[in-house]
Amino acid sequence: MNRGRGPGRGPAFAKPKEKTSVVLLKLWAYLSRYHAIIIAASLLSVLGNVLGLLSPKLSGAAIDAIIPGAVNFPVVYKYVGAMILLAAFSSVTSWVLSAIMIRLSRNVVSKMRKDLFDHLTGLPISFFDTHQTGDVISILSYDVDTVGASLSTDLTQILSSLITVVGSFFMMLSIAPEMLLIFVVTIPCSIGVTRWRARIVRPLFSKRSRMLGAMNGYSEEAVSGLKTIRAYHQEEEFNQRFEEHNNNAVHATWHADHTAAVTGPTVNLINNLSLAAVSIFGSMLYMAGGISLGNVGSFVLYSRKFSGPINEFANILSELQSALAAAERVLGLLALEPEPADAPDAQPVTSCRGHVEFRDVSFGYTQDTTVLHNISYTAQPGKVMAIVGETGCGKTTMINLLMRFYDVSSGAILLDGVDIRNLRRNDLRRQFTMVLQDTWLFDGTVFENVAYGRTDVSREDVELAAKAAHIHDMIMSLPQGYDTIVTGSGSSISKGQKQLLTIARAMLIDSSMLILDEATSNVDTQTERRIQDAMLQLMHGRTCFVIAHRLSTITGADCILVMDKGRIVESGTHEELLARKGMYYELYHAQFDRPNEAA
């Protein structure tokens, strides 16, 4: 649910399809980091394939040594033994080459995935407001693995095929140049078919990646909201929607694979026709005395080696197109602009009084929609500024602007008299401590979760913060106390307990300003009252911005801003706003009068 924080979900990475050469050039930037491995792999590939190219020549020599009635067995045995040794050595080099390429693939995938994750942490918040988490995870896992699998297998195959084709060509040229005329017709046909099918297949694999990403995104959304789905008996509805996504993904996969599968048999047919032509033409030359029988056999074997890689390339074309489509999504994500860098003359924030001023601020997540209209107010240092209003009125958007998750469309936000756009972004954000309605824990101990953001705190500091947040007793009731492992989803503890842990975490952060966005929304009223003193202690001496729907929690605020449709319609203390009998008066009595009427 968007909750007014951004423009809503949209299609992932809508960018034009890049040329294959451009994608390969960008992938080479990753491969070139491991030049020593690439050189070793290239040498092994050359050695293994060159040795493999000698076998047909030896086979032809062995055949010529077999003369009817006078077989030269020592010569035959010599050539056969040499062929066995070459085959064994070629197999060993192929195995070593495969091991090296797997290592190269592992290194590239590891580096690529790290770069992706590092890049994700630097992307602006607007990216995560408009893209599904599951689709991003699909790129981090499926697409990166697809690229890695192609590097470890297809790259080796292409390199070996290139060496084999070139070597076979020169060997055939040395045996019977006139027989190469057959390939003048068949090879262009094979290449033409392969390129034609590649242009058809690649968009289909791009679509497959998009459909799989959409399905993963929907799955992540459904699994994370499974309790709500069951509570509202929407299992069948979500199952039907998943079936649609699944069918789209299955159809896209089938269409891509089915279309790609036509290429291999077509090229194989052309190659078989060329082999038949070579056999017929070679027999005619042998009968005319222009070539020996052994050379005919050698030429046939070389022709198979020559045309075989072309056929194999056609067979792995689908994998290559899949890898290129996956690489496009990976590189497309890496190409997204990160959060804008600080201005060269951006000022550091070494100290902060906490004087905040919104000066005629307007903002919209898109150019067509304005969320905030001419917002102006001043928050004095050490004072509590509460922001209330109906859902979607722009409360959280103001916090996003204050933290520079987004920049204002017009106007300015000033901190201690300086436009925050002229401050270093990281320094600015260090001045804030945030306790949000959407609590977040990571896989780790309770101690690590509470101490998150601090590396210099002791066990005693963490326990004091937990006691102040009224969560210490609950922690001690856990199997290992503060050393108990909690999961990122926090499934082992309640939402209220998660929120108390985040409040305890905030108490350890020494910052000038505090943001509370529905910070007690997940705790019961009795617990909320118990932690009021702790919250007051946390807020003491800090400029505080409190977003609250429970108006009872902000009656003591120094100033309350009442928002409606992106505008500040009222401001003042609790008593002043009640006396005006305006919108705040209506909101307040809407919360407190109805329970009395029901009673």
- pLDDT tens digit sequence for 270-291: 777 777 777 777 777 777 766 7
Say what the pLDDT of residue 599 is.
Answer: 35
pLDDT interval class at 6 (50, 70, 90)? very low
Residue 282 belongs to some domain of the structure = yes
Contact 372, 363 (CB under 8 A): yes
Residues 6+ away with beta carbon under 8 Å from 515: 399, 402, 403, 432, 433, 434, 435, 436, 544, 545, 547
18 secondary structure, DSSP code: P
| Rounded Cα distance, 285 and 292, in Å | 9
Say what the pLDDT of residue 562 is.
Answer: 92
Total domains present in the chain: 1
Token couple for 79: 């050539």
Residue 591 belongs to some domain of the structure = no
| Rounded Cα distance, 1 and 575, in Å | 34
Average pLDDT over residues 545-562: 85
Q: What are phi and psi of 56, to 5 degrees?
A: -60, -35
- pLDDT tens digit sequence for 451-498: 887 778 888 888 988 888 888 888 898 888 898 888 765 556 777 788
Contact 514, 539 (CB under 8 A): yes
| Rounded Cα distance, 558 and 580, in Å | 17
Contact 389, 563 (CB under 8 A): yes
Residue 447 belongs to some domain of the structure = no
| Rounded Cα distance, 254 and 416, in Å | 61
Q: What are phi and psi of 242, to 5 degrees?
A: -65, -40
Q: What is the DSSP string of 142-200?
A: IIHHHHHHHHHHHHHHHHHHHHHHHHHHHHHHHH-GGGGHHHHHHHHHHHHHHHHHHHH
Average pLDDT over the chain reads: 80
Residue 131 belongs to some domain of the structure = yes
Contact 559, 570 (CB under 8 A): no
- pLDDT tens digit sequence for 300-350: 777 777 776 766 666 666 677 778 888 888 888 888 888 888 888 888 888
Say what the pLDDT of residue 131 is.
Answer: 79
Token couple for 28: 């080479």
CB neighbourhood size of 297 (10 A): 19
Residues 6+ away with beta carbon under 8 Å from 378: 355, 356, 357, 358
In CATH, what number is assigned to the domain containing residue 150?
A: 1.20.1560.10
pLDDT interval class at 95 (50, 70, 90)? confident
Token couple for 286: 């042998």
The pTM of the whole model exceeds 0.85: no
3-state secondary structure (DSSP) of residue 139: helix
| Rounded Cα distance, 442 and 231, in Å | 26
| Rounded Cα distance, 437 and 399, in Å | 13
Residue 407 belongs to some domain of the structure = no
Structural domain that includes position 115? 26-335
Contact 384, 556 (CB under 8 A): yes
Q: What are phi and psi of 585, to 5 degrees?
A: -60, -45
Token couple for 244: 């649609």
Which of 501, 504, 491 lies closest to 534, judged by CA? 504
Contact 90, 54 (CB under 8 A): no
Q: Is the pLDDT of residue 415 over 60?
A: yes
- pLDDT tens digit sequence for 200-247: 877 787 788 778 878 877 777 777 666 667 766 677 877 888 888 888
3-state secondary structure (DSSP) of residue 381: coil
Largest CA distance in the chain: 124
Contact 202, 325 (CB under 8 A): yes
Task: Give the CA count within 13 Å in the CB-facing half-sphere of 423.
Answer: 24
Residue 116 belongs to some domain of the structure = yes
Say what the pLDDT of residue 4 is.
Answer: 43
Q: Percentage of the chain surpassing pLDDT 90?
A: 9
pLDDT interval class at 593 (50, 70, 90)? low
Token couple for 144: 């990166």
pLDDT interval class at 518 (50, 70, 90)? confident
- Which residue in the block uniquely carries the two structure tokens 């992540």? 220
The top-scoring range by mean pLDDT among 58-62, 193-197, 411-415 is 411-415
Torsion of CA 442, 443, 449, 453, to 10 degrees: -60
Q: Is the pLDDT of residue 38 over 50?
A: yes
| Rounded Cα distance, 92 and 95, in Å | 5
Residue 572 belongs to some domain of the structure = no
Contact 163, 48 (CB under 8 A): no
Q: Is the pLDDT of residue 413 over 90?
A: yes
- pLDDT tens digit sequence for 41-62: 888 888 888 887 888 878 877 7
Helix (H) or strand (E) run with residue 127 in it: helix 125-130
Residue 240 belongs to some domain of the structure = yes
Average pLDDT over residues 429-449: 83
Average pLDDT over residues 142-163: 79
Say what the pLDDT of residue 11 is.
Answer: 44
Helix (H) or strand (E) run with residue 386 in it: strand 384-389
pLDDT interval class at 360 (50, 70, 90)? very high
Residue 239 Cα distances to 26, 243, 464, 476, angstroms? 40, 6, 47, 41
Contact 439, 477 (CB under 8 A): no
